[in-house]
């Protein structure tokens, strides 16, 4: 009998990674049976279980409390659907708050499947107690950096380093072809706008990034803004874009890598996308804003790192400028962008810093999804 593996993702980034792992699983074990609870990318690659996690992505204490009853219900529904499908392994992708609860529900219900967490919480930056929680409810962690392993292994959780999935994406990207396809003339300066992938980010972070783009375009007539739409918030961003007066185009996720390759500078919400941008050579200006209650608690009790951007954490310095909370203003963000556009030496220096940070983040030298698939098949 072929092995049965269930993969679960609750956010767009997890859905994309899940689809990559599914492709690798199929390549290595064509007879493996795969089921998913996830978004469009995973659902198009494997059979879906009858649970929808749309709109589950929440961020921050207050947002989490508001969604708590829904999270509990979806955890129960997902656990019941998984138990009925009788898998050999369950792969829980990213989305800490939902996935640890699902792992706990599966274990307490006596589901025999191996519980494998794909990407762990960033305990090196905040809330180190999560490592102990994960070790209690999961059997194995697939982590993206070797420096993460000791945080989890001290509690007895086995780990495998797969590398950063973002570093293996978009190798075939062609920024010049993207610019030509969209009719940009040779003197056009392309500035990226990455406003976030969660509803809370669109509410809190996107408006400041958009105002910064207005200020940049107000001072540089040669700039065109390219906004890449994340699947989970596309309709919200399109509605906002209807009021933008600066030169811009909106592009879908399918054009993401080529769009990134065309960008000189990108104004980005902190997240996985910053690593993907750096891998394509775009100089990044990072912004982020949490709810005030969440921010106050994080600053007082939870945060362990000076930086929130993984590039900067890996570099041990501000490889890319980041503005958080009160420092995150349209004027500061626009000023950082304009400095890079106006000063070729500053642009080259930042790209060099970002490249060194990426080298520090480099994993085992093979695609992360391939290593993840091998480990999952070994454990299932």
Q: 192: which 2 tokens?
A: 């990226």
Q: Is the separation of the CB atoms in 118 and 16 below 8 Å?
A: no
Non-local CB neighbours of 73 within 8 Å, separated by 6+ positions: none
CA distance 324 to 38: 30
Same fold, 4-163+364-379 and 175-361: yes
Q: Is the separation of the CB atoms in 18 and 36 below 8 Å?
A: yes
Asked if residue 97 has pLDDT above 50, the reply is yes
The superfamily CATH assigns to domain 4-163+364-379 is: Glycogen Phosphorylase B; (3.40.50.2000)
Summarised one tens digit per residue, pLDDT across range 248-267 is 999 999 999 999 999 999 99
Question: What percentage of residues in the chain have a pLDDT greater than 90?
Answer: 68
Asked if residue 294 has pLDDT above 70, the reply is no
CA distance 206 to 134: 32
Q: Alpha carbon 119 to chain centroid distance?
A: 10
Summarised one tens digit per residue, pLDDT across range 33-67 is 999 998 889 999 998 998 888 766 554 444 555 56
The superfamily CATH assigns to domain 175-361 is: Glycogen Phosphorylase B; (3.40.50.2000)
pLDDT at res. 61: 43
Element (H, E) at 224: strand 223-228
The structural domains of the chain, with segments of one domain joined by +, span 4-163+364-379, 175-361
Q: Is the separation of the CB atoms in 89 and 62 below 8 Å?
A: no
Q: Is the separation of the CB atoms in 287 and 326 below 8 Å?
A: no
Residue ranges of the alpha helices (H) in the chain?
12-28, 40-43, 61-85, 96-108, 130-137, 149-153, 175-181, 199-204, 206-219, 234-241, 256-262, 272-279, 292-297, 310-315, 330-342, 344-361, 368-379
Q: Is the separation of the CB atoms in 111 and 83 below 8 Å?
A: yes
Summarised one tens digit per residue, pLDDT across range 130-166 is 999 999 999 999 999 888 899 999 999 999 999 988 8
Q: Is the separation of the CB atoms in 194 and 275 below 8 Å?
A: no
∠ Cα 123 124 126 (to 5°): 55
Asked if residue 181 has pLDDT above 90, the reply is yes
Residue 314 binned pLDDT confidence (cut-offs 50, 70, 90)? confident
Model confidence, pTM: 0.81
CA distance 12 to 86: 26
Summarised one tens digit per residue, pLDDT across range 109-126 is 999 999 999 999 988 777
């Amino acid at each position: 009998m072929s092995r049965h593996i269930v993969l679960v993702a609750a956010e767009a980034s997890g859905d994309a990674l899940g689809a990559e792992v599914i492709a690798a699983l199929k390549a290595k074990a064509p007879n493996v049976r795969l089921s998913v609870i996830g978004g469009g990318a995973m659902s198009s690659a494997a059979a879906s279980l009858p649970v929808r996690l749309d709109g589950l992505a929440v961020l921050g204490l207050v947002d989490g409390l508001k969604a708590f009853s829904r999270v509990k219900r979806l955890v129960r529904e997902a656990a019941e659907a998984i138990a009925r499908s009788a898998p050999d392994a369950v792969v829980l992708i990213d989305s800490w708050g939902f996935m640890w609860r699902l792992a706990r529900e599966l274990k307490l219900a006596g589901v025999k499947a191996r519980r494998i967490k794909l990407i762990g919480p960033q305990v090196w930056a905040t809330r180190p107690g999560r490592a102990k929680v994960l070790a209690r409810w999961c059997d194995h962690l697939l982590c993206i950096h070797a420096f993460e392993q000791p945080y989890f292994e001290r509690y007895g959780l086995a780990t495998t380093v797969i590398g950063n999935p973002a570093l293996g994406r978009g190798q075939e990207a062609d920024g010049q072809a993207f610019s030509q396809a969209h009719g940009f003339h040779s003197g056009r300066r392309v500035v990226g706008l990455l406003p976030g992938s969660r509803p809370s980010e669109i509410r809190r972070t996107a408006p400041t990034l958009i105002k910064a783009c207005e200020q940049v375009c107000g001072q540089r007539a040669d700039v065109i803004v390219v906004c890449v739409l994340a699947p989970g918030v596309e309709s919200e961003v399109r509605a906002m874009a209807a009021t933008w007066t600066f030169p811009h185009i909106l592009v879908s996720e399918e054009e993401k890598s080529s769009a990134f390759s065309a960008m000189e500078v990108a104004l980005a919400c902190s997240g996985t996308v910053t690593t993907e941008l750096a891998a394509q050579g775009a100089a990044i200006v990072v912004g982020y804003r949490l709810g005030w209650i969440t921010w106050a608690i994080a600053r007082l009790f939870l945060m362990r790192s000076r930086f929130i951007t993984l590039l900067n954490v890996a570099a041990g310095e501000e490889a890319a400028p980041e503005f958080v909370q009160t420092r995150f203003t349209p004027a500061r963000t626009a000023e950082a962008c304009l400095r890079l556009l106006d000063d070729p030496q500053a642009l080259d220096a930042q790209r060099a810093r970002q490249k060194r940070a990426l080298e520090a983040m480099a994993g085992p030298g093979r695609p992360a999804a391939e290593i993840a698939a091998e480990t999952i098949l070994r454990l299932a």
